[in-house]
Chain A
Amino acid sequence: MFNIEVEHLTKDYGSGRGVFDVSFSVGKGEVFGFLGPNGAGKSTTIRHLMGFSKPQSGSTRIFGKETFERYNEILGNVGYIPGEIALPAGLTGWEFIRMMQNLQKCKNDKRLDELLTLFDLNPEGETKRMSLGVKRKLAVVTAFMSDPEVLILDEPTSGLDPVMQEVFVEFIKNEKERGKTILLSSHIFSEVDATCDRIAIIKDGKIVSDFVADDLKHATRKRYELDFSDLASCEKFVGEAQKSNILKIVERGENNSKITVETEDKYINGVIEMLSAYPVRGFGHKKETLEDYFMSYYKEDKEFGGALQ
């Protein structure tokens, strides 16, 4: 059984906004990446999963239970980090933590202490005086402190510094090992890359791509930037490369001796042999990232001209 299920979920807000026939499921011990541009429907889907909104058609279930009707049976075992953090006014960090512990009906101070140490958070002081990053840490700690089975994370590291992002990634990997069911929405490709087993991309309210993350991670295609010592050598190499079937030229500098080539790992020895006959003064590896891959799905064009008239 899947702990998180979204089935043909539709919520039409009009003018093409909303989510349309969205389906996916996440199993125990799995991290599911939920990606897409701002406004594509990620948070709408997540809000349905949290039982905040009622589906127009289709259903969202956690532990097999409809989330809108039975959220009070479910939420005690769901950790949620919202995309935008709005903390109640006039509380200190500690008061907020205690309030959330009451709502979660769980007071596990041992785990709380571990989390405070791990995320280097001091919850003393009023929440309104906390910086964005510190508020984010507070949201992370409160979401995990009752050790829930299902984790729904909407842009969890937005505003966290790179050191904390690394800590977070390690933490998620560990939670996955412990058999948690995790939905992760994020704009930070490196953390998606490091944690997710499967990835779906949502755009304009529809799932446009759904795939297993490993397919991408072990890409053996590579791009290298080459800088030749003189223009003539560069020309000559380009000539040779065009006849070769082990690499192709993807970019060529104007009026300089720089080119970018693409090849496969299995051809690297042939490429080395070719290059060893040329004077090369620069060699760099351009990482092919998830980001490059996703950007093609993200591209869109909308007209907003004249909105101020």
Chain B
Amino acid sequence: MTNSVIEIENLTKDYGEGRGIFGIDLQIRKGEMLGFAGTNGSGKTTTIRHIMGFLRPTSGSVKVDGKESWTHSSEIVKRIGYVPGEIAFPDLSTGTEFLKSQAEFLNVSNMNYAEYLIEKLQLDPRAPLKRMSKGMKQKTAIVAALMANPDIILLDEPTTGLDPLMRDAFLEIINNEHKNGKTIFMSSHMFGELETTCDRVALISNGKIADVADMNVIRNRTEHEYKIEFNNEADYLKFKQSGYAVVRDQPQYMQLTVSVSNDETSELFKSLKGKNVKFITEAVYNLEKHFKNVLHEEKENSNNVQ
């Protein structure tokens, strides 16, 4: 795994009473965008703070470019563009002042990229930091994190609190960074945004990695589930017997959910032709569904063990 930019090996931070993270293994490859999902309190922020070198592992290790995070923290904080989940600004008057002090800290002299980001996010940084809304603080933090054009970007719930327009603008910026070969690690509760941006998405549950999903596999599934409701019972019954794999049957609505592979699509329309259909919708297989299945199976397995 020499081309891994971030290597997390067997990382454990035990806060006692089952809280913490346990035996986390994650490799983030150069140029990859890895998403990070999980319930509140499952360990996302703890993991991210270890990468920044803010926390010392109980055991295991985190390396960024081959260097131990904890012992190289002062170097790493300058190398990684980091947007924390909870933003605490230093005691400065305006956003502009904060961004300038950040530029100095990061030795950034050319502010063109910062200006571009400000324009893109429609941020007015001249506002007093104390009076900024959550969304404005978030935007200011994003500009501060990205203005030095870092190769590695670490984002802890960066879109929480942003309105949908701003979320789109932000995701466009991140997509561009990704296209330009940046290595990105982003946590989020919005499965939709992880789906459209990430190459892979890791799921953490109770401090352990439960699954790492390859988005290409999820996006390019060849099986689809369609929910079809009929206007009369005869057609509903006839269709039910035409051999499609029935996932769900709701006779009270004359509704069938069937699983159909891509090469059966034409066949499906031929079978439906002449029948009186009320509507067709698709139950899309997405990341949310995938992770629900993973957690469900995990639960069943642990029940079986007991």
Contact = CB atoms under 8 A, between A and B. Distances in A.
Interface of A: 36-39, 43, 83-84, 131-134, 136-137, 155, 158-165, 187, 189, 220, 222, 229, 265, 268-269, 272-273, 275-276, 278-285, 287, 291, 294-295, 298-302, 304-308
B279 A278 contact: no
Given A38-B163, A275-B269, A84 B134 contact: yes
Contacts of A307: 96, 115, 118, 123-126
Contacts of B119: 304-305
Contacts of B40: 131-134, 136-137, 159-161, 164
B133 interface: yes
Contacts of A83: 133-134, 161
A188 B154 CA distance: 24
Contacts of A131: 40-41, 45, 85
B126 A272 contact: no
A273 to B, nearest CB: 5
A37 B126 contact: no
A133 B41 contact: yes
A308 B226 CA distance: 53
Contacts of A222: 279, 281
A283 B41 contact: no
Contact of A284 (B277, B279, B282): B282
A304 B281 CA distance: 43
A80 to B, nearest CB: 16
Nearest to B263: A281
6 contacts: A137-B40, A161-B38, A163-B39, A187-B162, A222-B279, A302-B122
B32 interface: no
Contacts of B279: 220, 222, 265, 268
Interface in B113-150: 114-115, 118-119, 122-126, 133-136
Nearest to B295: A163
Contact of A304 (B39, B122, B157): B122
Contacts, number: 158
Given A272-B273, A276-B270, A305-B119, A295 B164 contact: yes
Given A272-B272, A308-B114, A39 B164 contact: no
A132 B124 contact: no
Interface of B: 38-42, 45, 85-86, 96, 99-100, 111, 114-115, 118-119, 122-126, 133-136, 157, 160-167, 189, 191, 224, 226, 262-263, 265-266, 268-270, 272-282, 284, 288
Contacts of B114: 308
A302 B121 CA distance: 10
A228 to B, nearest CB: 9
Contacts of B280: 268, 285
A188 to B, nearest CB: 9
A264 to B, nearest CB: 10
Contacts of A306: 115
A285 B260 CA distance: 14
Nearest to A291: B164
Contacts of A291: 164
A278 B133 contact: no
Given A137-B40, A276-B269, A160 B189 contact: yes
A273 B164 contact: no
Given A38-B163, A132-B86, A308-B100, A280 B269 contact: yes
Contacts of B272: 272, 276
Given A43-B133, A222-B279, A284 B224 contact: yes
